[in-house]
Amino acid sequence: MVVLMKFDNVLVATDGSTLSEAAIDLALHSAEYFATKLTLVYVVDNTRHGEFDDADVMTRIFASKLEGEHTLESAMKKAKTQGVEMETMLVEGLPWQVLSDLTKEYDMLIMSTTGKGSFGGGRMGSTAAKGIENAYCPVLTLKSVSDRLENVLLPVDSKNMPAIDLAIETVKRVGGKLTILSVKTKDVHAESVVQEVAQRCVVEGIDFVTDIREGNPVQIICAESGKYDLVVMGTHARKGISKVLKGSVAEAVVINASCPVTVVRNE
């Protein structure tokens, strides 16, 4: 019997930005299918003391706490309106580190790839990048408004069982459809990889199609992403303090995909 990955206990990160509001909306919309426990966290960054004098630091932290309280209160009202039970947390610390520690207790983290303040910066915010690299659970990222997860793309180049399990479980719960995509390279025997995943899908009784391509994996995945509600990507296991995201196909897809992307580490 195959044991599928569970993700009932979901953590959602917000910084009050418009895009992090979209992350909340996606979580609330999907709560019917996934989250038996939904927790929203706002992290007050109290680590940048050297950039300000003491008075400025205290004023900035106080303002951030007020904004966090307002953001969490507003989200709680929205959740109650939609009939979704949600807990909230206001935490101080280095945002990515706080999120990483929290993910030890959760099945999935949902967050935006960019935002404002501590969550922003560049094409993918430093908090998002470090959050993905250091999380102990799958991380669903989004960079645009989205509230659907029914049509799922699963790029495969190896037997990354956690990613495969999560993609299948997602499709099963929402009654959706899975596309198994593999791009031929000198190191990837696409046909055999796709066949193995397809056999799993048959066993699990989900609707699926297969797609085998040739070319640049990042370009193909990103070009196809506009047709889907979610991309599920596997990445390599944590090895000490080495980077698991930087320079990878997963990082490029997170940055450039047109739909939300869930990154799952193969551990």
Over residues 117-130, mean pLDDT: 61
Q: How many CB atoms lie within 10 A of CB 46?
A: 16
Same domain, residue pair 171 and 261: yes
Structure tokens of 40?
A: 């929203």
| Phi and psi angles of residue 113, each rounded to the nearest 5 degrees, phi first | -80, -25
What is the reported pLDDT for 67? 93
Band of residue 121 on the pLDDT scale cut at 50, 70, 90: very low
pLDDT average, residue stretch 5-16: 86
CB within 8 Å of 181: residues ≥ 6 apart = 153, 154, 155, 156, 210, 211, 212, 213, 220, 221, 224
Do 94 and 186 share a structural domain? no
Please tell me which residue, 208 or 184, carries the higher pLDDT value.
208
pLDDT digits (tens, 9 = 90+) for 238-249: 544 445 566 688
Q: Which of 107, 142, 177 is the last residue of a domain?
A: 142
Weakest-pLDDT range from 6-20, 203-217, 244-258 = 244-258
Q: Is 15 in the same domain as 131? A: yes
Pairing of strands 37-44, 86-92: parallel
Query: Does the pLDDT of residue 124 top 70, yes or no?
Result: no
Q: Kindly state the tokens that stand for 113.
A: 């790839």
Q: 14 with 138, same domain?
A: yes
Share the mean pLDDT of the chain.
Answer: 85
State residue 249's pLDDT score: 87
User: Does one domain contain both 137 and 15?
Assistant: yes
- Proportion of the chain above pLDDT 70, given as a percent: 86
Torsion angle defined by CA atoms of residues 110, 113, 117 and 121, in that order, rounded to the nearest 10 degrees: 160
Distance CA 244, CA 134 (A): 9
The residue segments making up the domain with residue 109 are: 9-142
Q: Are residues 119 and 61 in the same domain?
A: yes
Segment 111-132 shows an average pLDDT of 67
pLDDT score at 5: 60
Statement to judge: residues 167 and 209 lie in one domain: yes
The strand pair at 108-112 and 177-184 is best described as unpaired
Domain for residue 4, yes or no?
no
Percentage of the chain modeled with pLDDT above 90: 58
Inform me whether the pLDDT recorded for 142 exceeds 80. Answer: yes
Query: Does residue 1 fall inside a structural domain?
Result: no
Summarize the confidence of residues 148-162 as an average pLDDT: 88
Q: How many domains does the chain have?
A: 2
CATH classification of the domain holding 249 = 3.40.50.620
Confidence of residue 188 (pLDDT cuts 50, 70, 90): confident
